[in-house]
Amino acid sequence: MEPSRLVRREDVPERCVACFFAEVIDDLVAGGARIAANRKSEMGDHPIYEIQFQGQRLGVTHPGLGGPLAAGMLEEAIALGCNRFIVCGGAGVLQKDVAVGHLIVPTSAVRDEGTSYHYLAPAREVQTRADVVRTITRVLDAEHVHYACAKTWTTDAYYRETAGKIARRRAEGCVTVEMEAASLLAVAEFRGVALGQILYCGDDCSGTAWDSRQWNTRKDIRRRLFDLAAKACLAL
């Protein structure tokens, strides 16, 4: 079942930021973002908004939480006409000394979820395209932003991030943990579109006691990250 048979192509921007920060999207809508296309699920509407950013058309959408929903929404965004994506969101840290707000550019994701295996042959990891990583890092360098390029761990079950798993992923070189990266990268590779991600380090998942570190209240970090993602998206 191809998405293009279910979703009609529309006049949407080719470049799109998939932003996990609902309050940032709400601010953009209050500032005049218009709905360029709308997708629906049992959760309700999933609009793709259009804004003008640095004089260019740019799509903005919430990717949806978890690999399956994010992959489905990405599929439909591609079918609508978007083909270059930057994803911005938060992630748990697997190393306690990584500060809240520190930026990570994932170079690969450990595939500890199910969705990616429906798109790519079984493998331990899925890679971010090297040219996309270079584009993102050029933008961050130009903005004089501190960041690290690193591996992330994608899992479906955030209540099963056990101490043993955390230790093994850390030994593999994972710095962050989240729920969508591997799925999104797999869809992008399968469909032949460009997709990269910028994550900001949030809650502390490195030990036996979870520490939220009030990661989802950092509005200044989240808005700044959206602007960086938008610049990187326009550079793709």
List, in sequence order, every beta strand (DSSP E) within the chain: 15-19, 34-41, 44-53, 56-61, 84-93, 103-112, 125-127, 147-155, 174-178, 194-204
The whole-model pTM stands at: 0.96
Quick one: pLDDT band at residue 218, thresholds 50, 70, 90?
confident
Q: Is the pLDDT of residue 214 over 90?
A: no
Domain membership flag for residue 108: yes
Q: Is the pLDDT of residue 182 over 90?
A: yes
CATH code for position 81: 3.40.50.1580
Stretch 88-95: mean pLDDT, rounded? Answer: 95
- pLDDT at position 116, please? 98
Domain membership flag for residue 109: yes
Tokens read off for 235: 């550079």
Q: Is the pLDDT of residue 208 over 80?
A: no
Domain membership flag for residue 147: yes
Stretch 84-99: mean pLDDT, rounded? Answer: 95
- pLDDT at position 154, please? 98
By the 10 Å C-beta count (0-12 exposed, 13-18 middle, 19+ buried), 45 is classed as: exposed
Q: How many domains does the chain have?
A: 1
Domain membership flag for residue 51: yes
Domain membership flag for residue 112: yes
Q: Looking at per-residue confidence, does 196 or 213 come out higher?
A: 196
Domain membership flag for residue 3: no
pLDDT, tens digit, 9 for 90 and up, residues 158-173: 999 999 999 999 999 9
Q: Is the pLDDT of residue 216 over 90?
A: no
Residue 77's domain spans which residues?
10-208+215-235
- pLDDT at position 215, please? 82
201 contacts 102 by C-beta, under 8 angstroms: yes
Domain membership flag for residue 184: yes
Domain membership flag for residue 5: no
Calculate what percentage of the chain has a pLDDT beyond 70.
Answer: 100
